[in-house]
């Protein structure tokens, strides 16, 4: 699942220094994606098939949300299952049936694989087919893996969306070209982009995932896909297998990223440059105004990114080009060289990009460099703060609307806030 796409021929002019590192990794597993995906797809339920560890992870990550009508749960494998005393497929059917009976509002059920279920080779895709048949037509049952051995954090979303691709209706071969925006976005961001595409004159624009299971968009050879997130390798491949064409673009973070992202779509749909400029001008002006106050705070600040979500490279590009920050090291759990090529090309020459992680060695490098701002997970943030390093916890970047013109200021503020706070506190 983590297999990388074939590495595209390296641009000889590429001045980015890409290195790989292996060792201890301090990252989330893909199960964590459930925390935001279940809010996005409103009639879907996520049933993890795993251990008590998996259940504990989800409740730790979802915090207090678990009680606001939870749409996720764990079927905990126990010793009877492992000893073969209980037929695991029958057990799974029993648990699922009870869940569906109690939650008749569910239209889409994901069986989510974990490390334990993968290691014992429980065939969840067959189970999903079997259950889909028995619940037909009320509930569709799909499966994907969010296990730590196969997926890192946001790759859980990739695996989930890839599982949805075969469910998407087929777009007629003679349909007019349509645009498909891929990646779960905050509803407010999705609405902003819808308006912009409409003003640009792109007629058919759809989003994956849709907000409801029954509304998944159509796909076909005339579909142009624009990735809104950098971690969608498998989803893009599955969409391409259905004939869609990916539009290479940087990701819509910051004013520059948003403009380039929109421009990729505009060019593919033959929108006149003048019109593009006219439509995007107000957004660009607003973003620039919103970013101004933070530029002074972030200029020349030395930033160190620990790997977490694959958003690191676009974020580093935004901080360096639009905010004037200096990049010490940009860690990423995986680097999809094809999807990230437009981003890498925008990074300053000599940027240290590290794919993978050896935790202690990386912490040593950060300590030696003494960054002004360290972007890292919550397991490292307080320990670094106690050592006198300012940190920005990275998970927030997944739970906050940060894409598009009107969120550019908010994005910069997320990085400026810890620095601002340090200047305020006198204790």
- The contact set with ligand SF4 (CB under 6 A) reads 8, 10-11, 14, 16, 29, 31, 50-51, 53-54, 57, 114-115, 147-148, 337, 341, 344-345
* Secondary structure of residue 328 in the 3-state scheme: strand
CA distance linking residue 99 with residue 109, whole number of Å: 10
Q: Which does 118 bind (CB under 5 to 8 A by kind): ligand SF4, another protein, none?
A: another protein
How many residues make up the chain in this entry? 427
In angstroms, give the least distance from the CB of 229 to ligand SF4.
18
Q: Which is nearer to another protein, 9 or 68 (CB)?
A: 68
Q: Which partner in another protein, ligand SF4, none is near 73 (CB below 5 to 8 A by kind)?
A: another protein
61: partner contacted, choices another protein, ligand SF4, none (Cβ within 5-8 A by kind):
another protein
Between 31 and 303, whose beta carbon lies closer to ligand SF4?
Answer: 31
Q: Would you list the DSSP string of 380-398? A: HHHHHHHTT--EEETTHHH
Q: Indicate the residue among 31 and 226 with the shorter CB distance to ligand SF4.
A: 31
- Shortest Å distance, C-beta 343 to ligand SF4: 8
Quickly count: other Cβ atoms within 10 Å of residue 154's Cβ: 27
Q: Retrieve residue 22's tokens.
A: 């292996």
- Taking each helix axis from N to C end, the angle separating 408-424 and 273-298, rounded to the nearest 10 degrees, works out to 10
Which helix H or strand E contains 224, and what residues bound it?
Answer: strand 223-227
Of 29 and 271, which has the nearer Cβ to ligand SF4?
A: 29
Residue 369 C-beta: closest distance to ligand SF4, Å: 22
Cβ 320 to another protein, closest distance in Å? 29
Separation of alpha carbons 394 and 305, rounded Å = 9
Report the nearest approach of another protein to the CB of residue 130 (Å): 15
Q: How far is the CB of 187 from another protein (least distance, A)?
A: 24
Angle between helices 312-323 and 254-268 (to 10 degrees): 110
Identify which of residues 9 and 64 has a Cβ nearer to another protein in the complex.
64
126: number of Cβ within 10 Å: 11
Among all residues, whose Cβ is closest to ligand SF4?
14
369 binds, among ligand SF4, another protein, none (CB under 5 to 8 A by kind): none
Binds 344: which of ligand SF4, another protein, none (CB < 5-8 Å by kind): ligand SF4
H/E element holding 141? strand 140-145
Q: Which does 279 bind (CB under 5 to 8 A by kind): another protein, ligand SF4, none?
A: none
CB of 317 to ligand SF4, least distance (A): 11
The distance of closest approach from Cβ of residue 51 to ligand SF4 in the complex, given in angstroms and rounded to an integer, is 6
CA 65 – CA 68 distance, rounded (Å): 5
The option from ligand SF4, another protein, none interacting with 11 (CB < 5 to 8 A, set by class) reads ligand SF4
Judged by beta carbon distances under 5 to 8 A according to partner kind, the member of ligand SF4, another protein, none in contact with residue 345 is ligand SF4
Specify whether the CB–CB gap between 324 and 299 falls below 8 A: yes
Pick the closer one to ligand SF4 by CB: 19 or 97. 19
Nearer CB in complex with ligand SF4: 147/310 = 147
Cβ nearer to ligand SF4, comparing 99 with 345: 345
Q: For ligand SF4, give the closer residue by CB, 74 or 391.
A: 74
The number of angstroms, rounded, from the C-alpha of 362 to the middle of its chain's C-alpha atoms is 23
Q: Which does 126 bind (CB under 5 to 8 A by kind): another protein, ligand SF4, none?
A: none
Sign of CA dihedral 80, 83, 84, 85: negative
CA distances to 47, 106, 135, 306 from 128, in Å: 11, 15, 10, 36
Sequential DSSP letters for 280-323:
HHHHHHHHHHHHHHHHHHHTT-EEEEPPSSS-HHHHHHHHHHHH
- Give me the helices (H) in 324-386, please: 337-344, 359-369, 378-386
**From another protein, ligand SF4, none, interface partner of 10 (C-beta below 5 to 8 A by class):** ligand SF4
Strands 44-50 and 108-113: parallel
- Kindly list the strands in the beta sheet with 245-246, ordered across the sheet, starting from the edge strand earlier in the chain: 205-208, 178-182, 223-227, 245-246
Residues binding another protein (CB under 8 A): 1-2, 24-32, 49, 51-53, 55-57, 59-61, 63-64, 66-67, 70, 73-79, 81-82, 86, 88, 91-92, 94-95, 98-99, 102-103, 115-116, 118-120, 147-150, 152, 360, 377-383, 385-386
Q: Toward ligand SF4, which CB reaches closer, 307 or 404?
A: 307
């Amino acid at each position: 699942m983590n297999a990388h796409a074939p590495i595209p021929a390296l641009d000889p002019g590429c001045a980015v220094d890409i290195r790989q590192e292996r060792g201890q990794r301090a990252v989330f597993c893909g199960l964590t994606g459930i925390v935001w995906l279940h809010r996005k797809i409103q009639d879907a339920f996520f049933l993890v098939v795993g251990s008590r560890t998996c259940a504990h992870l989800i409740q730790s990550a979802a915090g207090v949300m678990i009680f606001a009508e939870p749409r996720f749960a764990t079927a905990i494998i126990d010793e009877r299952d492992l000893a073969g005393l209980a037929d695991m497929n029958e057990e799974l059917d029993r648990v699922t049936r009870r869940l569906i009976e109690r939650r008749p509002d569910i239209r889409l059920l994901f069986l989510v694989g974990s490390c334990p279920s993968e290691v014992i080779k429980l065939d969840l895709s067959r189970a999903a087919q079997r259950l889909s048949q028995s619940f037909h037509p009320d509930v569709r049952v799909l499966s994907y893996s969010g296990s730590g051995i196969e997926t890192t954090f946001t790759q859980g979303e990739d695996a989930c969306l890839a599982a949805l691709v075969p469910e998407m209706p087929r777009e007629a071969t003679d349909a007019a070209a349509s645009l498909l925006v891929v990646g779960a976005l905050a509803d407010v961001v999705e609405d902003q982009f819808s308006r912009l595409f409409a003003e640009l004159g792109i007629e058919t624009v759809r989003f994956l995932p849709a907000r409801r299971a029954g509304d998944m968009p159509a796909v076909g050879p005339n579909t142009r896909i624009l990735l809104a997130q950098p971690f969608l390798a498998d989803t893009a491949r599955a969409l391409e297998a259905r004939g869609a064409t990916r539009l290479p673009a940087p990701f819509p973070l910051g004013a520059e990223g948003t403009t380039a992202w929109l421009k990729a779509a505009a060019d593919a749909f033959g929108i006149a440059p003048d019109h593009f400029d006219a439509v995007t001008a107000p957004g660009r002006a607003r973003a620039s105004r919103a970013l101004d106050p933070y530029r002074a705070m972030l200029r020349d600040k030395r930033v160190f990114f620990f790997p977490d979500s694959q958003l690191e490279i676009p974020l580093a590009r935004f901080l360096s080009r639009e905010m004037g920050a200096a990049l010490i090291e940009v860690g990423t759990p995986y680097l999809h060289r094809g999807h990230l090529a437009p981003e890498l090309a925008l990074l300053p020459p000599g940027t240290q990009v590290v794919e993978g992680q050896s935790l202690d060695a990386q912490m040593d490098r950060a300590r030696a460099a003494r960054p002004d701002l360290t972007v890292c997970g919550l397991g490292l943030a307080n320990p670094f703060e106690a050592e006198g390093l300012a940190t920005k916890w990275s998970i927030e970047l997944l739970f906050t609307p940060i894409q598009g013109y009107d969120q550019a200021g908010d994005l910069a503020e997320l990085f400026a806030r810890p620095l601002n706070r340090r200047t305020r506190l006198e204790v």
